[in-house]
Structure 1
Amino acid sequence: MEFLRAERGVTESEIDEIEMELALSFPESLRELYKNHNGSEPEPYVYENPELQISTVVSRILPLISEKGAGTAITSYNILIRDRRLAPQHFFPFAVDSGGDYFLMNTQTGNVFFLRSDNFPEVEVVSLGLTLDSFWQALTDE
């Protein structure tokens, strides 16, 4: 597993500040992701789960902080969770697929979910039954 084209890593104090601002507590795996691979592209990047009828490409990890002007995970959180209320407040978007659907982490359990919007305006939040580490291990080449 590699993470390519990352932005600068986020510091512990920056993560602490963001957690306070959002009233969330990130699991250690998510904190490590942002410290080491903020805004990067995973390689391999294909996620398939025939049981859940999901076949998609993880385009990038949403940066927590971006110095390149990229849309951030915080902006996505505010739009998806706070404004549109598409998932519970303790779910945090950490990655996006090529179609604009999001991968979310339940910050209380560390489990990964997929926010599917194929039938927008109806959306579906699907549990992948994976932790963040097992999610990265589940990605394959095309």
Structure 2
Amino acid sequence: MISFENTSLAISEADIENFRKITGLEIPDDLKNHFLKYNGGRPIPSCFENDFDKFCIRSFLVIAHGDENCGLENTYLDLRSNDFFSSGYLPFAMDEGGDYFLYSMRDDFGSIYFNQSEYYGDPDRFMIKLSDNFEKFLNSLKECD
């Protein structure tokens, strides 16, 4: 069972609506429900492993109550304005190195990806698909070694 530590103040539907007004983006229901239950924080366990790599979550982003520079709203707007970042993804968590776990808003809606910024320009390594959906992603987290 997953739990979260160091979460921020709880948010409301009004905070979700404010996010939509700021970004023009509707948060998908599964992600919205997660943020209503846990606003930010570090999951325990916190690592996702595939056949090749391990991806460890430092923290989920915060809506409304976090540091302006690392809140979900500003992170999304900042990334959207960068040329290297593909549109159609919503960052929801980050690793120790500042790379993002992303929720796909594209044709494969709901899929979870990891953005490896050091591999910009390498389409095989820049965006790594981790899971087909958010629930499966969370249920796949393991303890970090």
- Short-chain TM bin: 0.7 to 0.9
Give CA-to-partner distance per residue, 1:44-64, whole Å, 9 cap, x none.
0011112xx331211110101
- Between the aligned partners of 2:83 and 2:65, the Cα distance in structure 1 is 23
Give the letter for the 1:141 counterpart.
E
In structure 2, stretches of 5+ residues that fail to align are none
* C-alpha separation in 2, matches of 1:19 and 1:107: 14
In structure 2, distance between residues paired with 1:107 and 1:13: 22
Tell me, yes or no, if the aligned pair for 1:24 and 1:107 is still in contact at 8 Å.
no
Would you say the 8 A contact 2:49–2:55 is kept in 1? yes
Instruction: Please state which structure has a larger fraction of its residues in strand.
Output: 1
Q: Deviations over 1:53-112 (max 9, x none)?
A: 331211110101224566112221122122335121x31110001121100112352221
Q: Identify which range, 3-12 or 76-85, moves more after superposition.
A: 76-85
Over aligned residue pairs, what C-alpha RMSD do you find?
2.0
* Native 8 Å contact 1:39 1:66 kept in 2: no
Do the aligned residues in 1 keep the contact of 2:90 with 2:105 (CA within 8 Å)? yes
TM-score by length of 1: 0.86
> Is 2:69–2:75's contact at 8 Å kept on the other side of the alignment?
no
Q: Which residue of 1 aligns with 2:9?
A: 8
- Opposite residue 104 of structure 1, the aligned amino acid is L
Distance 1:35 1:45 in 2: 19
Kindly indicate whether residue 92 of structure 2 is the aligned counterpart of residue 94 of structure 1.
Answer: yes
Equivalenced residue count is 139
Deviations 1:95-130 (A, max 9, x none): 001121100112352221111123357671222233
1:59 aligns with 58
TM (norm. structure 2) is 0.84
Which residue identity is paired with 2:27?
F
Long gaps (5+) in structure 1: none
Q: Percent identity?
A: 22
Assess, with a 3 A threshold, how the Cα gap between structure 1 residues 86 and 58 changes in structure 2: closer, same or farther: same
Change (3 A) 1:21 1:65: same
Q: Which residue identity lines up with residue 105 of structure 1 in the other structure?
A: Y
Counterpart Cα distance in 1 of 2:92 and 2:56:
14
